[in-house]
Structure 1
Amino acid sequence: MLFVAVSALSTSSPPRRWLQRQLCAAALSVCLQQPFPMMASTTSAVAARTAVEEVWDLLDQYYYDGEALSRSEWKAARQRLGDEAARTETPLRRATLQALHGDRYTRLLDKRAYEEISRFDILGVGLILAPGDDEVARVVSPPIPGSSGAKADVRQDDVVESIDGVATKGRSSFDLLDVVTANDRPTVRLVLRRGDDRRTLDLARRVDVVDPVGRVDVSPDGVAYVRLREFNARAAPRLATVLADIRRRGATRLVLDLRGNPGGAFQAAVNAASLFLPPDSPAVTVLERRADQLFKTSSSPKTTTPSEGFRVELWLDSNSASASEIFAAALRDNCAAVVAGDRPSYGKGLIQAVFGLQDDAGGLVVTVAQYLTPKGNPIQGVGVKPDIPLPPTLYLAGPRKLPDKTDLDRDFASIAATCTPPPR
């Protein structure tokens, strides 16, 4: 599954500004929840109809397939289901999704499933931030239940003037993420403004829910094996630590095993790709209803990437999906890795945003965009095709022989000789 952490690289152009403000910002997987006005009446019938209207409005604003939303049956169903909900006092949200006849990824989450998504929260404090019209960051959705932001009574529409002493005005979503994740701090200091009131909060980060890295080994001849299990909020910083460790242990070749990796956060995949590619390398192109957007790797002033000097081979299988495919395609298209596997990856090239529902009933997952590899190739229904078959000696759970350094060099050389990276 791929949950969006869509962040534009700058605020200079209208399409990028729209994507920043409307989809998501400096947090990963739970995207923005726009405030929808509630009807004045407090009767259960009106509340039931409002529940249908809330889902409908979210889909009208963000669902990626404009053609599906323009069909007459979709519009007629809105009135019918709203009237039925008011009569039966039942929020017919699932029937609303069925009327869309959309993809299977657009669906409702119960409260427990919605809270579980918090492990993809890049900020780790349960807040979704995006630049406002004045280019100062704002909280654009109620905090994730149980997060440090929720416990501190942070509210939707609170203005975030600074993060860890860095003013947010004029900063892109990538900039906001870099401030928080640069040193893997256990806390985040926010200066918040609500009306005329200003306060400073130190919020504990929750970023260690699931360790994304599995087994790590280094062979005597300098071949490292790393299993990456998912792309959550910890993926990029954890992987950076592993790269430094295996370098100290003498590794010069790296097998990064993504087999069975179901994906995770969009932003985590781009951040992880930044560890292997030069700054400003094209990572993925997002296609959505209103504007297309090219996302690039981090433009931080580093002179070398953490993986500098490694020859990298990625292992994929048919269960490597979504964010795994973004990551793999970014490295392969930029000639930074060879992809090995017995068959193409899963082929999920759609991006979902997760919206909290106003009545605290859970969340709504909406497909908001699809994506292409840096060279413009589709992923949806196709997957990432391997360059070479998997090595004959597979590394699974037990202590087995790692691939030979000579074999990896041969694999890498066979692809590098003909690979041309896309223009930056």
Structure 2
Amino acid sequence: MSTEPHISRPRRRVRTVIVAAAGALVLFAAGVLVGGHPRSTGINDLPPGVRSILQGPTGDPVASEVIGLLEDGYYKAVDVQKLERASVDALIAGLDDRYTSYLDPAEYAALQRHTEGIFFGVGMTVQARGKFTVVTGVYPDTPAQRAGVRTNDRIIAVDGRSMIGSASDVVAAAIRGEEGTRVSVRFRRPGAGDRDVTLTRARIKVPLVSSRIRTVDGSRVGYVRLAEFDKGAASELRQAVKTLDSRKIDALVFDLRGDPGGLVSEAIGVVGIFTPEGSPVVTIQGLHRDRQTLETDSARATSTPMVVLVDRGSASASEIVSGALRDNDRALVVGTRTFGKALVQSTRELRNGGALRYTTARYLTPDGVDVSTNGLVPDVTVADDPNTKGTDEALDRALREAAQLPR
């Protein structure tokens, strides 16, 4: 296997997993949406740009040498694991990329549990915004919801450890834990100051896909929501769309609001539900790989006119899908500007059982649009008003727009 994670056509299996990352994590799950189990690797197997920060000019691991000297000669006992973690964190900080991070064995094991369908946490989604990690969604009937956590709350500290400037996956890993255990989180709400909340971790059950039918201006409009691009999302969504079509809908609203993203392979599969086989989905480009356009490789399941509904919480894979459907003249995009973090990341398992998540490329929509600066700008801009209880202005507008689409 090559030293670089290889992105190929979706039909080709690779063990090094590529994820579209926006620093967007699901705290009840595993943080970064990683599918499969990347192979173990040594420092020489890492890409040159990453390897160089972990080695000295002679190629010897300087950090390991220093730790060894301290372990042998320091005047009191040395916590080697603590030193190793601090040294790696400091080295990675030199990249000035908060989306590249080291996960220790316990943190990485928690991430892997996500792909096995085991979800423990507090029931909220988060994303990185500047130096803060911000809550972007709170699921109903979860510890976070019962504690009064709200969208846009900033996470300042976890169990007394400052999280300002930390990568979102590090924040997520600190909040995750075994069912029934407690975690103390300090939140900062704009205009209200800091608040310490103790949450008891629980098993969180959130369906990937939900759907229903609404009648709007005499038209039957199907509605389908995707919570995240987890393993199996495309297959589950395809079945839901087929079921809606079988009930004779006239149009469809595809809701990606608050969807933090996930697996690129699932994003490609989702686009394939709505577009012909061979349709362009995303272009990947980076220093250590040739520019490559990924295409759908599955038969289209529906040609029903559709609207994609997005907001500031729609990130990474959500932006890939929204951009691809619009650029392929397949959907009208409604809502507010998306998150805007067009990075592709790889996760590599290390010999100690931990893992390195590092940015390997950026992505462009099929028309060559880079959403990393301003996010994806919708065709029709409308925002939900959080002060109107029981009314979803953005969804209502999306349903009306869908009902008016040519058939």
Q: Is this a same-fold pair by TM over 0.5?
A: yes
Q: 2:228–2:259: 8 Å Cα contact kept in structure 1? A: yes
- Partner residue in 1 for 2:293: 294
- Partner residue in 1 for 2:340: 347
Tell me how far apart the structure 2 counterparts of residues 120 and 367 of structure 1 sit (CA, whole Å): 21
SS in structure 1 of the partner of residue 375 of structure 2: coil
Match of 1:32 among 35, 38, 60: 38
Shift of 1:335: 0.8
SS in structure 2 of the partner of residue 105 of structure 1: coil
Shift of 1:254: 1.1
Match of 1:306 among 301, 318, 321: 301
What do residues 301-324 of structure 1 show as CA deviations (whole Å, max 9, x unaligned)? x4xx1122x111111111111111
- Partner residue in 1 for 2:261: 263
- Opposite residue 365 of structure 1, the aligned amino acid is R
Q: 1:351–1:371: 8 Å Cα contact kept in structure 2? A: yes
Judged with a 3 Å threshold, the aligned counterparts in structure 2 of structure 1 residues 97 and 78 are, in CA distance, closer, same or farther, namely: farther
Structure 1 residues 178-193: aligned runs within 5 Å: none
- Opposite residue 9 of structure 1, the aligned amino acid is R
Judged with a 3 Å threshold, the aligned counterparts in structure 2 of structure 1 residues 290 and 248 are, in CA distance, closer, same or farther, namely: closer
- Opposite residue 9 of structure 2, the aligned amino acid is L
Judged with a 3 Å threshold, the aligned counterparts in structure 2 of structure 1 residues 389 and 407 are, in CA distance, closer, same or farther, namely: same
Judged with a 3 Å threshold, the aligned counterparts in structure 2 of structure 1 residues 390 and 353 are, in CA distance, closer, same or farther, namely: same
Q: 1:272–1:327: 8 Å Cα contact kept in structure 2? A: yes
Structure 1 residues 9-48: aligned runs within 5 Å: 9=9, 23-24=16-17, 29-30=35-36, 32-36=38-42
Query: Which structure has more strand as a fraction of its residues?
Result: 2
Tell me how far apart the structure 2 counterparts of residues 267 and 209 of structure 1 sit (CA, whole Å): 23
Judged with a 3 Å threshold, the aligned counterparts in structure 2 of structure 1 residues 74 and 250 are, in CA distance, closer, same or farther, namely: farther
Judged with a 3 Å threshold, the aligned counterparts in structure 2 of structure 1 residues 83 and 71 are, in CA distance, closer, same or farther, namely: closer
Q: How many residues align?
A: 286
Structure 1 residues 165-314: aligned runs within 5 Å: 211-214=207-210, 216-220=211-215, 221-288=219-286, 289-298=288-297, 300=298, 302=299, 305-308=300-303, 310-314=304-308
Q: 1:262–1:320: 8 Å Cα contact kept in structure 2? A: yes
SS in structure 2 of the partner of residue 219 of structure 1: strand
Match of 1:365 among 354, 357, 364: 357
Structure 1 residues 391-402: aligned runs within 5 Å: 402=396
Judged with a 3 Å threshold, the aligned counterparts in structure 2 of structure 1 residues 330 and 379 are, in CA distance, closer, same or farther, namely: same
Judged with a 3 Å threshold, the aligned counterparts in structure 2 of structure 1 residues 210 and 354 are, in CA distance, closer, same or farther, namely: farther
- Opposite residue 207 of structure 2, the aligned amino acid is D
Shift of 1:382: 2.6
Q: CA RMSD in A?
A: 3.9
Structure 1 residues 395-410: aligned runs within 5 Å: 402=396, 407-410=401-404
Tell me how far apart the structure 2 counterparts of residues 250 and 10 of structure 1 sit (CA, whole Å): 31
Match of 2:70 among 88, 108, 120: 88
- Partner residue in 2 for 1:60: 47
Shift of 1:226: 1.6
Q: 1:240–1:275: 8 Å Cα contact kept in structure 2? A: yes
- Partner residue in 1 for 2:105: 111
What do residues 325-348 of structure 1 show as CA deviations (whole Å, max 9, x unaligned)? 111111111111111113x21111
What do residues 21-67 of structure 1 show as CA deviations (whole Å, max 9, x unaligned)? 6844899535633543xxxxxxxxxxxxxxxxx3xx4543475xxxx
- Opposite residue 251 of structure 2, the aligned amino acid is R
SS in structure 2 of the partner of residue 217 of structure 1: strand
Shift of 1:10: 8.9
Shift of 1:120: 6.3
Judged with a 3 Å threshold, the aligned counterparts in structure 2 of structure 1 residues 313 and 358 are, in CA distance, closer, same or farther, namely: same
- Opposite residue 290 of structure 1, the aligned amino acid is R
SS in structure 1 of the partner of residue 88 of structure 2: helix
Tell me how far apart the structure 2 counterparts of residues 87 and 232 of structure 1 sit (CA, whole Å): 44
Shift of 1:82: 3.0
Runs of 5+ unmatched residues, structure 1: 12-16, 37-53, 64-68, 125-207, 417-424
Tell me how far apart the structure 2 counterparts of residues 85 and 72 of structure 1 sit (CA, whole Å): 13
Tell me how far apart the structure 2 counterparts of residues 117 and 73 of structure 1 sit (CA, whole Å): 27
SS in structure 1 of the partner of residue 326 of structure 2: helix
- Partner residue in 2 for 1:337: 331
Tell me how far apart the structure 1 counterparts of residues 333 and 343 of structure 2 sit (CA, whole Å): 21
- TM-score, normalising length from structure 1? 0.58
Shift of 1:217: 1.7
Match of 1:384 among 352, 376, 381: 376
- Opposite residue 338 of structure 2, the aligned amino acid is S
Q: Are 1:99 and 2:94 counterparts?
A: no
Q: 1:219–1:402: 8 Å Cα contact kept in structure 2? A: no
Q: 1:5–1:265: 8 Å Cα contact kept in structure 2? A: no
What do residues 334-373 of structure 1 show as CA deviations (whole Å, max 9, x unaligned)? 111111113x21111111111222222x322111221111
What do residues 117-155 of structure 1 show as CA deviations (whole Å, max 9, x unaligned)? 336659x9xxxxxxxxxxxxxxxxxxxxxxxxxxxxxxx
Shift of 1:399: 8.3
Judged with a 3 Å threshold, the aligned counterparts in structure 2 of structure 1 residues 35 and 255 are, in CA distance, closer, same or farther, namely: same
Shift of 1:252: 2.1
- TM-score, normalising length from structure 2? 0.60
- Opposite residue 225 of structure 1, the aligned amino acid is Y
Question: Where in structure 1 do 4 or more consecutive aligned residues deviate above 6 Å?
Answer: 69-74, 391-394
Tell me how far apart the structure 2 counterparts of residues 120 and 292 of structure 1 sit (CA, whole Å): 30
Shift of 1:77: 10
What do residues 156-184 of structure 1 show as CA deviations (whole Å, max 9, x unaligned)? xxxxxxxxxxxxxxxxxxxxxxxxxxxxx
Judged with a 3 Å threshold, the aligned counterparts in structure 2 of structure 1 residues 72 and 225 are, in CA distance, closer, same or farther, namely: closer
Tell me how far apart the structure 2 counterparts of residues 70 and 209 of structure 1 sit (CA, whole Å): 42
- Opposite residue 233 of structure 1, the aligned amino acid is K
Judged with a 3 Å threshold, the aligned counterparts in structure 2 of structure 1 residues 6 and 322 are, in CA distance, closer, same or farther, namely: farther
Percent of pairs identical after alignment?
28
Q: 1:286–1:369: 8 Å Cα contact kept in structure 2? A: yes
